[in-house]
Structure 1
């Protein structure tokens, strides 16, 4: 393939592309594809390469030669989160992934389906007809509590689950801020914000340590510790060694960090899109009522809801929560006929690629049926990567799809959500692309007999 290299327009001496990024970060990132396959963007005084071509993105994601680590932005949060599976690379990443992978086996996810449904029903039980709900906050509450309960099971009571879920927003805010903050100075200053972040991380680690101690002391029955029990029983495939308490804590923080904010953001945007497309909402509801009815969700239902699946696929395209993924060259290597030097910071934007009109005609149109015309498997490799690809492919992908199905199905068969009058929802680019707010009015769904999907 012929590969083009260029520098993005708008560079200012001493500031690089900082002004263009701050003025319109989403517009700047989506414009890069028009300038080349590999585009130089200066983040202040730090030059970097943005990869915009799907084949090169695929190469970047599927590297198996330990040419790349996670990059400078991950370095900035590693002191807070530890070197868990999200941040490790090379042989260490492969070792950790092998130990954690059984926790996300289909059989384990099947056990978590009931938790997903139970939490969703509990968190929506107080809704009343005509209530105005901040749906973005409601989805965080639901997804954070699902993660807390699936992680710790019945080792701790519901109050402890709520405590853990309440800590997570501040922890994630800290991670996002330190990921995008320029330089390293701001996070080292004794600012109130930094003290709040540090206190939240200390609380989270203390809470996790208390749960692990309860399990080790035998106050929890085997099998009641949720995902934690799997992590405690995990062994290094080569040495047979178990994880230390510090490693366990790092893994729990990593898994929680990776799975909470992105899922919450995606689910908030889902109800926004369904409110904008009531005919799609009705079809989603009809399919759920036909397949599941009023009974509890089961793992098999996830595969029996094809229209729901296409809606979620389209959601993870047009409302992809992840703005930018970073990598860094560990040593020199060829890329697209060029040469990347060791130490080079590389980035790509799943958000931007998923809105490329050459790949997805009329890319801003929310159209679940585009996946009938062109299934994801027929797209160029690297074009649709909602959960990454290659050795760093998100280990929790199937958990995430199951959670989205269950949360959607549980809510939509009982409630209709409409945008509050006068509400204007905007994308807010942070580490994830969040809505600025999402006030929605809830109405109960009139009970009716399931009908066949059209």
Structure 2
């Protein structure tokens, strides 16, 4: 009797699984979009057991070689399509309606909630409008001061290991510097992560990103209902760290709101201003100050609204900058001629004093360094995967992507495609000289995404990356020491083997 019940239950489960997938399966088959062997109920769950952040990028590269520009994966009842087809890139990124992030992003929701990165519809439109003033050139000029000051701190931190012999993993240094910059520009507070890497907020943020990125590839942790049961200790640590982050941010918001309210009472309040147009003065306002004065439909943003946008700003600015700068410095260390060209440009534009401060206008004049950054982001894009959720069938050329599917665009492999970039694995900054970028097909190079949901902080990112790279190279010669990187996906592109270089202090005259 028990055996009959088990068999009956299994048959019902198989029928249920078949019915919920059959339309999507048929659409994939008609469009000739195949993938690794999928079994009933589990889909590709068995293969997913061997998927780790450190092998995800390479595994998908093998699937592209095996199945073409598009392949599909099933995880239980969820369907994912990975693509490097520019027609699909255009259809999705240019759409004003396909704005919902792929299911892969749900692991960010615990700490980003419904902020700009994950929101859609009217909420996204109004939030983006509220955040945009933070990237006005006068705000950016003030932010450059913060970037320059914190880059000097990192340069001094590196001095203890700059002996020309020691291999240094840049990630941990750059990550703390980037966190100092993003927290100060976002909230106007000094977390002081470089001098106190064990402070509660810093440790909590790093812990949350580590846990959530590992959940992406863990069959037992990926579902919210199973996570507390399968990994109770990890779940409790995540909840604790999220509370630490929330309490810290809420405290800063309350304090800044109180100051703002008091200024209205005593008559010293000044509405949002981006500086005097005649004098060109800087706007010394953090993102938090701008959000506190913003309103949506004539209503001020709540503390929760502000916390969401502050967290998005910090997360996006910290990790993407860390990836971009670390990979750039490593690859520069392996190309001495490129390094020498950068150094000569720095001397020409910034002068011989390595401690002289930079400004936004000076950074914009570093044209060759910008080419180096672009080429680095081609080979090592900080955001190697961009995902959207497709609620209904989407026709693209001769293929149809089934509805209820997450489509994962993989710029990482587009940027390494010889159709668009001859000798794609060769590091060649000259590719970007004299406006050659304009000759590329649309969507062939989109390190900051594209379309309505492109990265609002592109200018901020370039300024921060240029500031830090220029500061390091003005003080140190970069040496090719340490292991090569192993591409690792932790929401951004990192390396399980580190981004390693050696440093030798430059002789000053």
State the TM-score, normalized to the length of structure 2: 0.79
Is the Cα contact below 8 Å between 2:213 and 2:490 reproduced in 1?
yes
The 1:30–1:94 alpha-carbon spacing in structure 2 relative to 1, beyond 3 Å, is same
Counterparts of 2:442 and 2:289 in 1: how far apart (Å)?
Answer: 36
1: distance between equivalents of 2:85 and 2:434? Answer: 22
Alpha-carbon distance in structure 2 between the residues aligned to 1:85 and 1:260: 16
Counterpart of 2:318 in structure 1 is 260
Q: Is contact 1:259-1:400 (8 Å) kept?
A: yes
Note if 1:269 corresponds to 2:327.
yes
The answer on 1:178 being equivalent to 2:215 is yes
Partner of 1:169: 206
Is 1:16 aligned with 2:39?
no
From 233, 245, 264, give the equivalent of 1:192: 233
Report if the CA contact (8 A) 1:428-1:434 is conserved.
Answer: yes
Output the CA distance in 2 between the equivalents of 1:160 and 1:309. 26
Residues 117, 424 of structure 1: alpha-carbon distance in 2 compared, 3 angstrom cutoff: same
- 8 Å Cα contact 1:120/1:410 also seen in 2: yes
Q: What residue in structure 1 maps to residue 10 of structure 2? A: none
Quote the residue 2:3 is aligned against.
Answer: none
For the residues of structure 2 that align with 1:113 and 1:25, how far apart are their CA atoms? Answer: 35
Cα pair distance change 1:143/1:157, threshold 3 Å: closer
In 1, the alpha carbon distance for the partners of 2:216 and 2:298 equals: 35
SS in 2 for 1:364: coil
User: Could you tell me whether the CA contact under 8 Å between 2:87 and 2:396 is conserved in 1?
Assistant: no
Q: Does 1:344 align with 2:401?
A: no
The answer for the alignment partner of 1:451 in structure 2 is none
Q: In structure 1, what is the Cα distance between the partners aligned to 2:288 and 2:98?
A: 32
Shift of 1:116: 0.4
Distance 1:441 1:59, change over 3 A: same
Contact residue 113 and residue 403 of structure 1 kept, 8 A = yes
The answer to whether structure 1 residue 54 and structure 2 residue 91 are counterparts is: no
Q: Deviations over 1:413-437 (max 9, x none)?
A: 01123243x5344223333221222
Specify the alignment match of 1:140 in structure 2: 175
SS at match of 2:79: strand
TM-superposed deviation, 1:235: 1.9
Change in Cα spacing, 1:333 to 1:147, as seen in structure 2 (3 Å) is same
- Count of matched residue pairs: 440
After superposing the two structures, state which structure 1 stretch, 253-262 or 121-130, moved more: 121-130
Partner of 1:452: none
Say whether residues 1:149 and 2:184 are aligned partners. Answer: yes
SS of equivalent residue, structure 2 residue 449: coil
**1:327 equivalenced with 2:358 (yes/no):** no
1:55-454 mapped onto 2 (5 Å cutoff): 55-64=87-96, 66-126=97-157, 127-128=159-160, 129-130=162-163, 132-153=167-188, 155=189, 158=192, 163=199, 164-182=201-219, 183-184=222-223, 185=225, 187-189=227-229, 191-218=232-259, 226-236=286-296, 239-293=297-351, 294=353, 295-372=356-433, 375-420=436-481, 423-435=483-495, 436-448=497-509
Contact 2:179 2:193 in 1 (8 A): no
Query: Contact (CA 8 Å) 1:18, 1:44: kept in 2 or not?
Result: no
Change (3 A) 1:5 1:368: farther
Query: 1:317, 1:384 within 8 Å by CA — same for their partners in 2?
Result: yes
Of residues 72, 95, 98 in structure 2, which corresponds to 1:40? 72
**CA distance 1:230–1:160, change in 2 (3 Å):** farther
Task: Provide the alpha-carbon RMSD of the alignment.
Answer: 2.7
Verify the 8 A CA contact 2:178 2:321 in the aligned structure 1: yes
- Where 1:413 maps in the other structure, the secondary structure is helix
Q: Which moved more, 1:329-338 or 1:224-233?
A: 329-338
Query: Structure 1: which 5+ residue stretches go unaligned?
Result: 449-454
Residue 232 of structure 1 and its aligned partner are, at CA, apart by 1.1
Aligned-partner Cα distance in 2 for 1:156–1:287: 32
Q: Is the 8 A contact 1:357 1:363 kept in 2?
A: yes
Quick one: structure 1 residues 361 and 45, their matched pair in 2 at CA, closer, same or farther if it must change by over 3 Å? farther
Distance 2:193 2:326 in 1: 25
Bigger radius of gyration, 1 or 2?
Answer: 2
Distance 2:405 2:488 in 1: 28
Deviation track 1:48-96 (CA, whole Å, cap 9, x = no partner) reads 22232113202211211x2441121223432432100111012221111
| 8 A contact 1:215–1:225 mirrored in 2 | no
Structure 2: any 5+ residue segments left out of the alignment? 1-29, 264-269, 271-282
Greater displacement, 245-254 / 119-128: 119-128
Which segment is superposed worse, 407-416 or 127-136? 127-136
TM-score by length of structure 1 reads 0.88
Instruction: Decide whether aligned partners of structure 1 residues 172 and 268 sit closer, same or farther in structure 2, where only a CA change above 3 A counts.
Output: same
